[in-house]
Structure 1
Amino acid sequence: MSSLIGYYSLIFGVGVSILVIFFSIKNFNDTQKLDTKVISLVFLQLLFVIISFSGLILSFVNSDFSNETVFNHSHTTKPLFYKISGTWGNHEGSLLLWLLVLTLFIFVFLLRSKNQPKQYKILTLLFQQIIIVGFFIFLIQTSNPFNHVFPVPKEGLGLNPILQDPALAIHPPILYLGYVGTSIIFSSALAAVCSNNITKIWASHIKKWVLVSWIFLTLGILLGSIWAYYELGWGGFWFWDPVENVSLMPWFALTTLLHCVLVLEKKLILTSWVVVLSIATFTLSMCGTFLVRSGILNSVHTFANDPERGLYILIFLFILIFLSFFIFLIFHKSENDNSKTFYLLSKETSILVNNWFMMYFLSVVLIGTIYPIFLEVISSQKISVGPPFFNKLILPFLIPFMLAMAIGPKLKWIKSDIEDKIYLISFFVISLILSVLIIRNLDINFLYNTILITAAFYLFFITLRDFFHRKYRNLSQITAHFSFSILILSILFNNIFSSEVITNLKINETYQAQNLKINFESIEQENKQNFKAIRGKFIVEDQSGLIEVMQPELRIYNQPNIVTSEADIKTNIFTDKFMTMNYVQNQDYFNIRYQVKPFMIWIWISTILLCLSGCLSLIRKKYEN
């Protein structure tokens, strides 16, 4: 019954979308105020999608296996929490969640835009409805979450065990809030271009949506990274997996857009940057949707579905790109960008430098993700682009980027001189000495790593000083740059000082090295609701005599019948100790992987601080110079 209600709610939602478009066009020139009938219809559209999504949740909670989506992705023994999260842990349900956020955001946009010009609001609504209708059609025609199965199975196939995790359960909704928020930015930018409404007031208005999208996208990426760290058993926070990359690319574009909007709010410049980045950010979000759902990418994150769905998204995406750039070329007036002279030492120039660096990083990630796909299509050769490619092309450019981040905020608008040269030079010398002391005794590239760490320390010290020197002025900007410096330092130290031991052990055997001892003490079994846990007990002693008890697990799930490896992680403020165990087939020993990962927790803390900086900017009434 809930599936039937959910399906017909989608059909009614399409009908309401057509009415919204009709009355919006009819109301375009009638009055100075947006017709309440249009707002009521948008609310009704949202209500139908909420009913549809609730119907799918109820089908999962009740284990209604007459619903094909529930049958493919649930099981009666699955805990209630994962039954609910299983609603969006699949292709059909995740797209319905996309649609829910799309309709929610446009309704909130209309409520929060009462002081904006009426024609601008209607145009934004119309562009957003094009996207919404496209998703309605996509769901109903190719990805219906309410398809019926007959005869009704007694049991479902279950959810992939690696998706049965709290972090991954909340990761998609938060990530989608970031992705879908870019659709409002996209629609708003096109509406502003068409109505010639790109002003400082519009920048202040759209800045809130940019910040909200940026905060949620950052949080979503963080949760995905934490999940991959402890669930996949690889022992790292980022692997340049293609699906990781498709979430990082819109983040680069959105971060650049945020800086441009903040400038536009102060001065009427960089309007072309703002419009193009608004289009590009949403395009990259849609590209991620296409790549994940087309079956093109091979990743642990992807929804392996038939290419027909990917083809629909690709055609829909090309239509949106063509429409947006046609509007940009016809309606956008760029004289404002060209009427200003940019001096070398000015805040405007520092923002442009920031933009070009971010676009370079974006290009590297885009090429590294897309190139293997095109190569396979053209030559049938399969290649893997991994961390060495990205590290070699990105890390060297982080050095001037971080130096620009440290000095740029010290500059003034229009024309400036670098003030307080003594403390800038002093901090650079201190950073260089610290880096040399850290790197000197390590068997790594001395010059390259010294310069890289020096730049990160330099940004850290400059922004740390600003916390006290500026007395909470520009607090959001200082917090963002400070947290970014901690993030880079944590990543660098994590990479340099990490250590790993991989060995095979039987019960009661001991691995002995110069500075490490691992004793495989015992194994115990425990039956859980939908899996059996095999837990090992290891006594780990390091060179300082510190003893840790590590208890990694193997989990054997009943439906689907899959074995997963669960890491045991001991965390303190400086170091993570990470251990996984895997059964070696047809043998009586286990493969043990033990890693020491310094400063791992600071990677998470710095990213949370980044999100906090966005929240600070969001609640401030005025962006201060």
Structure 2
Amino acid sequence: MIAEIGHFALILALGVALLQAVVPLWGARRNDPVLMGLAGPASVVQFLLVAVSFAALTHAYVVSDFSVMNVFSNSHTDKPLLYKVSGVWGNHEGSLLLWITILALFGLAVSLFGGNLPPGLKARALAVQAMITVGFLLFILFTSNPFERLDPPPINGQGLNPLLQDPGLAFHPPFLYLGYVGFSMAFSFAIAALIEGRVDAAWARWVRPWTLVAWVFLTCGIVLGSWWAYYELGWGGWWYWDPVENASFMPWLAGTALLHSAVVVEKRDALKSWTIFLAILAFGLSLLGTFLVRSGVITSVHAFASDPTRGVFILGLLVIAIGGSFALYAVRAPSLKTGGLFAPISREGALLLNNVLMATGAGTVLLGTLYPLFADAFDLGKVSVGPPFFNSVFVPLMVPMVLAMAAGPFMSWKRADLMGVLGRLKLVLGLAVVAAGVTWFLEGGTAGPWWAAGGIGLAVWLFLGTLAEWAERVRLFKAPAEALGRARRLPRAAWGMTLAHAGLALFIAGATASSAWKQESVQSQKVGEAVTVAGYTFTLTDVRDVQGPNYVASTGTFEVTRDGKPFATMTPAKRTYKMPPRPTTEAAIVGTFWGDVYAVVGDKDPDGGYVTRLYFNPLVPWMWMGALVMVIGGLVSLSDRRHRVGAPTRARAGAKTQPAKA
């Protein structure tokens, strides 16, 4: 009965979404406050109905109701409760319901917290958001019903993919979807602005916090997924340019560019058309990722094995939503006023360079991801595009962007003196060159690729340049007695920028070191034998079977020493799950300031030894720490009072007198 309530709630939500998509839009055209006001209550009711449906599916998983096909296919009575709950979104139908729930949640948030929005813009944005929800509700109701029944109900279920039975994968999809779907709000604001025919500083002030929310969540989701791949798959790496990894990375790049572009619209009333384009692009790439994951066109450990007919439905939704949006953009964008002019050497110019390079990077990743599909579709042969392509094409694009990130905040708006900026950064530049030289002397001349020293120098340039800009803002060296007071008065958005840029510098250092100087050893190792990697000696002392709640694990014990002194006891394992019967790898990792000591134990070989993989991954903890600092920077920026207050008074007043346009 509860499953039927959940299904019926989705049908009702579709009706409410249709109402919300049509009536407020018509009200905005007629400038009718009553009809426009319907958008808020409709978004509340829509969210409540979708939440009831999601709760009904979650209940079916928790109580192991195997009369529901979705539960039977993805759960089992022996699963721990955490993985019963995460099983709700560990499959195509359930994850689609989570997507719709988050769509409704963002609409609810705008309804509740968008009191400072002009009624016309708010009504149009919520109507566009409802249109997106209508598309996905039609998709789930007609092709992916999560409440389909089985009669008679089976005694037990088939279980969840063991790779997904992990805390990292339990929380990774919700964060990722909050990022993906969060960009729908920026998209809705962009389409509403195109319909209205006006993009100004007020619009940029309204759209930035919603974009920032999506960016923070997507960053968390990507990092959680990378962290899971690092310790769960047992290959010692954290990123492989997998198509589904790329599907999340592309909207992150576009969203990051959108955040910076919106600043130019707000501060200088420039780049308006480009900012609208990025808002459409960010959500378009999110929809493309959904298509890649659910269409069956790619093979990935992350992808859902889905019926290709579902992919056709999503492709149609993608064509209608994004094709229609770009058609509207082509008609409306030329009429948008260009705004303030600026010289190439200026803060606007630096932010534009950031935008162009990030957009180009996203295009490069898109090309590398889709080219094998196009080659296969046109009988051009099987083509594999892997890390060598992405590393050689994408990474060089990011180098000038990082160089500009440190110099850009020193530049003034409209026009800047490049030599003067570089003069203020000469100490930072000198220290970056020294860091690169020392790295080359210690490592580059004897081991590791030549570019690694440059990567470390680049990280030092960005980190110290970011700190130097903060120090100049608070006049740390000119008036140190007053610096603390100035630091307290700094806008939180400025603090957020400092933290985010410093976090990226830490991430670059960690990514460079782990890629360039990782050391590994793969061998057959018997109990009692020792292997040395990067100065750490791994002695395999025992391998025993351990019974888990729904698996059996072959657990090895390594006694690790360094310079003859005990360092750690590590217990990696290889698990074999009962239902479905499938093996997984559980790496043992001990982190230090300078890197991770990493051990994996595998199958027993005919000689009585065990296949072991031993690694030292330098500076990997810096990557996770850098990503965390970036997220904290985003949250600090989000707490800036200006995001809560909204647009300047004069912009709101102008919005009230602006006649509505269809």
**TM-score normalised by L of structure 2:** 0.90
Task: Return the alpha-carbon distance in structure 2 between the equivalents of residues 438 and 391 of structure 1.
Answer: 21
Query: Aligned with 2:538: secondary structure?
Result: strand
Is residue 536–residue 551 contact of structure 1 (8 Å, CA) maintained in 2?
yes
Corresponding residue for residue 534 of structure 1: 554
For 1:458, which of 447, 458, 461 is the aligned residue? 461
Is residue 74–residue 157 contact of structure 1 (8 Å, CA) maintained in 2?
yes
Is residue 183–residue 282 contact of structure 1 (8 Å, CA) maintained in 2?
yes
Q: Give a deviation string over 1:558-596, Cα, whole Å, max 9, x none.
A: 111112111011112222111111114666332100001
Corresponding residue for residue 374 of structure 1: 374
Corresponding residue for residue 650 of structure 2: none
Task: Return the alpha-carbon distance in structure 1 between the equivalents of residues 496 and 536 of structure 2.
Answer: 44
Root-mean-square deviation (CA, aligned residues, Å) is 2.1
Is residue 34–residue 118 contact of structure 1 (8 Å, CA) maintained in 2?
no
Corresponding residue for residue 329 of structure 1: 330
Q: What's the offset of the Cα at 1:241?
A: 1.0
Task: Return the alpha-carbon distance in structure 2 between the equivalents of residues 594 and 328 of structure 1.
Answer: 53
Q: Please give the residue correspondences for 1:290-369 in structure 2 after superposition, counting only pairs within 5 Å.
A: 290-334=291-335, 336-337=337-338, 340-369=340-369
Task: Return the alpha-carbon distance in structure 2 between the equivalents of residues 62 and 364 of structure 1.
Answer: 46
Q: What's the offset of the Cα at 1:351?
A: 1.0
Task: Return the alpha-carbon distance in structure 1 between the equivalents of residues 352 and 207 of structure 2.
Answer: 20
Corresponding residue for residue 432 of structure 2: 431
Task: Return the alpha-carbon distance in structure 1 between the equivalents of residues 536 and 499 of structure 2.
Answer: 39
Distance 1:199-1:33 versus aligned 2 partners, 3 A rule: farther
Q: What's the offset of the Cα at 1:495?
A: 2.0
Is residue 75–residue 160 contact of structure 2 (8 Å, CA) maintained in 1?
yes
Q: Please give the residue correspondences for 1:202-217 in structure 2 after superposition, counting only pairs within 5 Å.
A: 202-217=203-218
Q: What's the offset of the Cα at 1:304?
A: 0.7
Task: Return the alpha-carbon distance in structure 2 between the equivalents of residues 560 and 447 of structure 1.
Answer: 46
Query: Aligned with 2:88: secondary structure?
Result: coil
Corresponding residue for residue 588 of structure 2: 568
For 1:593, which of 613, 623, 628 is the aligned residue? 613
Corresponding residue for residue 403 of structure 1: 403
Corresponding residue for residue 417 of structure 2: 417
Question: Does structure 1 residue 200 correspond to structure 2 residue 201?
Answer: yes
Corresponding residue for residue 44 of structure 1: 45
Task: Name which structure has the greater RCO, CA cutoff 8 Å, separation 6+.
Answer: 2
Q: Give a deviation string over 1:430-485, Cα, whole Å, max 9, x none.
A: 21122111112433577544333322221121112233332244222222211111
Distance 1:402-1:533 versus aligned 2 partners, 3 A rule: same
Letter in 2 for 1:538: F
Q: What's the offset of the Cα at 1:88?
A: 0.6
Question: Does structure 1 residue 495 correspond to structure 2 residue 515?
Answer: yes
Q: What's the offset of the Cα at 1:526?
A: 2.1
Q: Give a deviation string over 1:101-132, Cα, whole Å, max 9, x none.
A: 11111122122222323222222122212211
Q: Give a deviation string over 1:73-115, Cα, whole Å, max 9, x none.
A: 0000001111011001100000001111111111221222223
Task: Return the alpha-carbon distance in structure 2 between the equivalents of residues 82 and 281 of structure 1.
Answer: 31
Which stretch of the first structure deviates more once superposed, 255-264 or 229-238? 229-238
Which stretch of the first structure deviates more once superposed, 253-262 or 124-133? 124-133
Query: Aligned with 2:597: secondary structure?
Result: strand
Corresponding residue for residue 640 of structure 2: 620
Corresponding residue for residue 148 of structure 2: 147
Which stretch of the first structure deviates more once superposed, 75-84 or 614-623? 614-623
Corresponding residue for residue 389 of structure 2: 389
Q: Please give the residue correspondences for 1:231-242 in structure 2 after superposition, counting only pairs within 5 Å.
A: 231-242=232-243
Distance 1:421-1:35 versus aligned 2 partners, 3 A rule: closer
Corresponding residue for residue 524 of structure 2: 504
Letter in 2 for 1:215: V
Corresponding residue for residue 167 of structure 2: 166
Distance 1:514-1:234 versus aligned 2 partners, 3 A rule: closer
Distance 1:90-1:44 versus aligned 2 partners, 3 A rule: same
Task: Return the alpha-carbon distance in structure 1 between the equivalents of residues 36 and 362 of structure 2.
Answer: 42
Query: Aligned with 1:27: secondary structure?
Result: helix
Query: Aligned with 1:332: secondary structure?
Result: helix
For 1:550, which of 570, 574, 578 is the aligned residue? 570
Corresponding residue for residue 187 of structure 2: 186
Distance 1:580-1:614 versus aligned 2 partners, 3 A rule: same
Task: Return the alpha-carbon distance in structure 1 between the equivalents of residues 282 and 608 of structure 2.
Answer: 52
Is residue 36–residue 119 contact of structure 2 (8 Å, CA) maintained in 1?
no
Query: Aligned with 1:336: secondary structure?
Result: coil
Q: What's the offset of the Cα at 1:5?
A: 1.1
Task: Return the alpha-carbon distance in structure 2 between the equivalents of residues 294 and 139 of structure 1.
Answer: 14
Query: Aligned with 1:379: secondary structure?
Result: coil
Task: Return the alpha-carbon distance in structure 2 between the equivalents of residues 498 and 306 of structure 1.
Answer: 40
Task: Return the alpha-carbon distance in structure 2 between the equivalents of residues 123 and 25 of structure 1.
Answer: 5
Task: Return the alpha-carbon distance in structure 2 between the equivalents of residues 477 and 582 of structure 1.
Answer: 44
Which stretch of the first structure deviates more once superposed, 454-463 or 229-238? 454-463
Aligned pairs, number: 623
Distance 1:192-1:335 versus aligned 2 partners, 3 A rule: closer
Letter in 2 for 1:531: Y
Task: Return the alpha-carbon distance in structure 1 between the equivalents of residues 202 and 21 of structure 2.
Answer: 26
Q: What's the offset of the Cα at 1:380?
A: 5.7
Corresponding residue for residue 220 of structure 2: 219
**TM-score normalised by L of structure 1:** 0.95
Task: Return the alpha-carbon distance in structure 2 between the equivalents of residues 334 and 385 of structure 1.
Answer: 41
Is residue 440–residue 446 contact of structure 1 (8 Å, CA) maintained in 2?
no
Task: Return the alpha-carbon distance in structure 2 between the equivalents of residues 200 and 556 of structure 1.
Answer: 57
Q: What's the offset of the Cα at 1:189?
A: 0.5
Task: Return the alpha-carbon distance in structure 1 between the equivalents of residues 111 and 520 of structure 2.
Answer: 54
Task: Return the alpha-carbon distance in structure 1 between the equivalents of residues 463 and 354 of structure 2.
Answer: 17
Question: Does structure 1 residue 482 correspond to structure 2 residue 511?
Answer: no
Is residue 407–residue 422 contact of structure 2 (8 Å, CA) maintained in 1?
no
Corresponding residue for residue 248 of structure 1: 249
Q: What's the offset of the Cα at 1:18?
A: 2.6
Corresponding residue for residue 657 of structure 2: none
Task: Return the alpha-carbon distance in structure 2 between the equivalents of residues 112 and 199 of structure 1.
Answer: 20
Distance 1:30-1:458 versus aligned 2 partners, 3 A rule: closer
Task: Return the alpha-carbon distance in structure 1 between the equivalents of residues 615 and 197 of structure 2.
Answer: 57
Which stretch of the first structure deviates more once superposed, 209-218 or 576-585? 576-585
Query: Aligned with 1:596: secondary structure?
Result: strand
Q: Give a deviation string over 1:526-566, Cα, whole Å, max 9, x none.
A: 22211122211122334564543221111121111112111
Distance 1:323-1:512 versus aligned 2 partners, 3 A rule: closer
Is residue 506–residue 623 contact of structure 2 (8 Å, CA) maintained in 1?
yes
Distance 1:567-1:115 versus aligned 2 partners, 3 A rule: same
Is residue 432–residue 450 contact of structure 1 (8 Å, CA) maintained in 2?
no
Task: Return the alpha-carbon distance in structure 2 between the equivalents of residues 547 and 391 of structure 1.
Answer: 35
Letter in 1 for 2:211: V
Which stretch of the first structure deviates more once superposed, 426-435 or 563-572? 426-435
Task: Return the alpha-carbon distance in structure 2 between the equivalents of residues 378 and 132 of structure 1.
Answer: 34
Is residue 92–residue 145 contact of structure 1 (8 Å, CA) maintained in 2?
yes
Identical amino acids, percent of aligned pairs? 38
Question: Does structure 1 residue 577 correspond to structure 2 residue 593?
Answer: no
**Please, which runs of 5 or more residues in structure 2 have no aligned partner?**
475-486, 644-662
Corresponding residue for residue 257 of structure 1: 258
Is residue 519–residue 616 contact of structure 2 (8 Å, CA) maintained in 1?
yes
Is residue 396–residue 452 contact of structure 1 (8 Å, CA) maintained in 2?
no
Distance 1:53-1:513 versus aligned 2 partners, 3 A rule: closer
Query: Aligned with 1:562: secondary structure?
Result: strand
Q: Give a deviation string over 1:173-231, Cα, whole Å, max 9, x none.
A: 11111111111111110111111231111111111101101110111111111111111
Is residue 100–residue 133 contact of structure 2 (8 Å, CA) maintained in 1?
yes
Which stretch of the first structure deviates more once superposed, 466-475 or 570-579? 466-475
Letter in 1 for 2:326: F
Corresponding residue for residue 602 of structure 1: 622
Q: Please give the residue correspondences for 1:99-114 in structure 2 after superposition, counting only pairs within 5 Å.
A: 99-114=100-115
Which stretch of the first structure deviates more once superposed, 92-101 or 166-175? 166-175
Task: Return the alpha-carbon distance in structure 1 between the equivalents of residues 537 and 624 of structure 2.
Answer: 29
